[in-house]
Structure 1
C-alpha cells in the first residue's frame, strides 16, 4: 500500500470514528455530516463506500428521515451487494414509510447475506402481519365492486323486462322510479392514500394497482391536488381525491409515476426545509409561510421527545387499533441494541471509562493519549504524571516525523 493510500485510509477512518462517536452521543446530525465528509474523499474502495452509506442510512433512521435512509441504503447495496446491514436498514426505513412489500423484499434479500438471521426474521414477521391486514381489508372492496356489477346487471335485466311489458301493454302504468334509482346507484371504489416528506418535497401515493396514465386525471395547483381515476373501459370516475395542501408546492415541477401497485405524485415544496405537520391544511386553508416555519421550529408540546408521524389515511380506517408508541419503542430498542463493532465499540468503551473515572484517571488518559499521538492510553497517573509518554506504534509499524 502506497503512502497516499495510507493517508486516504487513515483520513477516512478518522472521519468514520468521528461519526461513530457522534452517533454514540446521540448527535445523529453530526454523525451524518462526518460520514458525508468521508464519502467525499477520492480513492476510497467500493466496500468502504458501502459501509459509510450504510452508516449514514442508520443515522438518517434515527433522525426519522426515512426517505434519505432508503436512498443511502440503496447506494450501499449498489456498492456492495453482500452487505447485510444495508438491506436491514433499507427494510426498516421502508417499514416506517409503510412500504411493506418493499421492506419485506429487502429483509428477504438481507437474509441470504447475513450470519445473524434472527433480526431479519423478526422484521419479516412484522411486514407479513401488516400485509395480511391490508389484504384482509381489501376483500370488502372487491366484494362491493363485484356486488355492484351484479346489481347493475340485475337492474338492466329488470329494465329490459319492463320495456317489453310496455311494448305489449302501452296503457300500463309508468315504470317505477325505483328502477331508475337502482340503475344509478354506484358507490365509488376507494383506494387508500398515504404520504411522506423529505426536506425538499412531499410524496403522495394513491394505492391503486395497475392504473394506466390514460385512466387518471391529475391536477396539481400551488396549494391543492385533485386526482380522478376512471374505471376500466369507462369515462366515469370511480375514485376522486381533492386536497387543500398544508403549504404551497411548485406545481410546474410536480412529477407523476404510474407504478404497478400505486400512483405516486412528487410535490416539490415551495419552501424547502419547512416541515409539514400534516398533508392537508387545517380548516381547508394553508398556513402562512411564517406560521409554517414557526410550527416547524417549535419544540413538541410537553417538552418530551417528538413522536414520528405515521402518515396514512388508511390508519384511521383500521378495525384493529395499534399502539404505535409501543411499536415505535420496540423498533427503536432493536436499533439501539444492535451491537457496535470496531472503532465504534472501542470509542464507547473509552467514553464509559472516562465518564466513570476520578480526576487523576482522567488526567492520565488525556496526558498519555496526547503525548503518545494516540498510541498509548493509560489510567495510572502516578506512573505517567512525572514523565513524558513516548509514542509506541503497533507492531510492524514505525514512527515518522514530518516537517510542518
Structure 2
C-alpha cells in the first residue's frame, strides 16, 4: 500500500503536479511512516511549492530516521537558505558534504550562504560569552543546527520571487533548458552541471535571487554541456548521455520509450501522408510558416520547428509514427519520412542537404 502510494507520488512529481505529489507522499507516510525516502521526496515537492518550513521539517525527520541520507541534508540546507537561516544552512550543507565529498554542489551552496552572512565585527564576537556569565544558568541542550518547527518557528516574511519560469525542449543529442529572465549579468549567474543534477543560481540586485535545482530524468555529459547568458533569457544546453528521447525533464531516471516528440531534422520532409490517412496537409504552406516564424523569432527557431513536428507526429497514424522514428534515427537526422510503405522496406540512407557533408562524431 505505502509503496504503491509512493510510486504514484513520484509520478505526480515528475508530471510537475507538486501539490498532488505532497498529498500522496503524506498518505504513504501515514501508511508506513518510518521511511526516510518518503520524507525527503516530500521535502523536494515542498521546495518546488516554496513551502520551505515544511521542507525543512521533513528533511529533519529523514535525518533522524537515517542520518546517512545525504539528500536529506542537502535539501534541508536549501530550505534553510530560503528561510534566511544561513548559519544552520551551512551546518546542513557541511553534514551532507561529509557524506558525499565528491559532490561539488555543496561547495557552491556553502559559498552562497557565506556570501549572505554579515562580516564579523569585534562587538559581535564579544556578545557570545556574556550569555553564559551566570553560573546558575544551565547550558542549552538544544542542538544549534535544529531547524525551525511548526510550533517554534518565527514567521518569516519571504520576498516575492522573480517573475521567471523555465521551459525545455530537446534535439537528438541535447536537452535545452530555457530560463526566461531578462538582463542577467554573466558574473551573477552560476550553473553547476553534474551527470544527474543541475544547480542554477542567479543573484539579482533587487535581492530576490533565483535558484533552480533539477534532478534529471536521464544522465548527461557535463563536459560537453554549456550555457549562454543573453539579454532576454538564459539557455543551458545539456549533452545527452544516452541516445534516447526524454519524455520528462525530471524524474527517477527510468528509461522510457519515446512518445509524441520528434526533434527538428536537418532536411525538410519531402514525403506525403499515406493515402489511408484522412488528414491532409499542405507541406509547402507548413514549411513557409516555419520559415516566416524563424525569421521573426530566430532565437526560438529550433523550439518552434520542434513543436511543428511534434504536432505532425501526434496527429499521425501508427504507420506514420513508425516511419518518422525509423527514418530519422537511421538517417542520422537527415531524413524525416511519413511513408511507412517506403521506409519499412530497407534501412534509410543518410541524405545531407546539398552542399553539406554528413559526419558521424
> What is the TM-score of this pair, normalised by structure 1?
0.39
**Bigger share in helix:** 1
Structure 1 or 2, whichever has the larger Rg, is 1
> What is the TM-score of this pair, normalised by structure 2?
0.43
